[in-house]
Structure 1
Amino acid sequence: MNNEVSRPKRVALEIRKTLAELLHTETKDPRLAKVNITECKISKDLSIATVYFTIIGSNKGDVEVTDAVEAFKKASAFFRSEIGQRLRLRITPHLRFFYDEVAENASEIEILIQKALHSHDR
């Protein structure tokens, strides 16, 4: 079996790391202050990177999430430029940002499981 990680996965991982670093050190926008990059997926041709994020203490419908999406849209050219310079990619992917609902959904499922177990014990 081939144990090597595919190039798109390696590039996605590097983009995720670079974005996290940029958010921590370079970004001044307060709407992105509590953002965590959770995942990055990239197309096979490396032209589009889909970046997922969460915000500490926020849920999908919160104003903070909407504000963060707008801030990412405004700053996407900056992020793309920095990624291109730092990673020295021949083609720098276009960045798309989405709120990551996985943790929120997992929390809801955990609550449902606990309720089911509790009602079963009665």
Structure 2
Amino acid sequence: MPSHRIERLNEAVREVVSSAVLFEVADPRVKGVTVLEAEVASDLKHATVFVSVMGDETQQRLALRGLQSASGFLQSRLAARLKTRYTPILRFELDQGVKKSVAMSRLIDETLAADRLARGESPEAPGPDPDDDEPSRDALGEEHPSSTD
């Protein structure tokens, strides 16, 4: 389990790199990049930055190359923010989690639509709302009569 210091460094690296990529990196290859997470090694000499890139595989590869070529600039921004003996050497990795979650959501939607078709409903029809029979509640949990009564 990472120490509290490593967790703070992870967050600082993520913030600095994210801000620099968004506002300071002038490389045209680095567009549509979102910094998701950073993991600093326990010896503080290396850091892996996980990014998500909007676009196809070619755009993702170009963005990763652009980030790698800008790594010296990003490390200088990091050195100015961190007051540590070593400035971590940055390595960028593409995080496929967002892409996989979108694909999984699409598969779920397709399965639900196929299930509705099998039951004879229209594929766009929303499913039954389990909360229809319950009265609405406000933020304090107090019941209010529904507007359909």
In the TM superposition, 1:1-122 aligns within 5 A as 6-56=4-54, 58-59=55-56, 61=57, 63-121=58-116, 122=118
TM-score (norm 2): 0.70
Distance in 2, matches of 1:25 and 1:107, equals 27
Q: How many Å separate the matches in 1 of 2:109 and 2:18?
A: 34
The alpha-carbon deviation at position 107 of structure 1 amounts to 0.8
Deviation digits for residues 72-118 of structure 1 (CA, Å, limit 9, x no counterpart)? 12111121122012222211111110112111000111122222223
Structure 2 stretches lacking a partner, 5+ long: 119-149
Please identify the structure whose Cα radius of gyration is greater: 2
Residue 10 of structure 1 deviates from its aligned partner by: 0.8
Higher relative contact order (CA 8 A, sep 6+): 1
* Structure 1 moving runs of 4+ over 3 Å: none
Number of equivalenced pairs: 115
2:31 and 2:11 map into 1 onto residues whose CA distance is: 21
**Structure richer in helix, relative to its length:** 1
- The root-mean-square deviation of aligned C-alpha atoms, in Å, is 1.6
Identity %: 27
Tell me the TM-score normalized by structure 1: 0.84
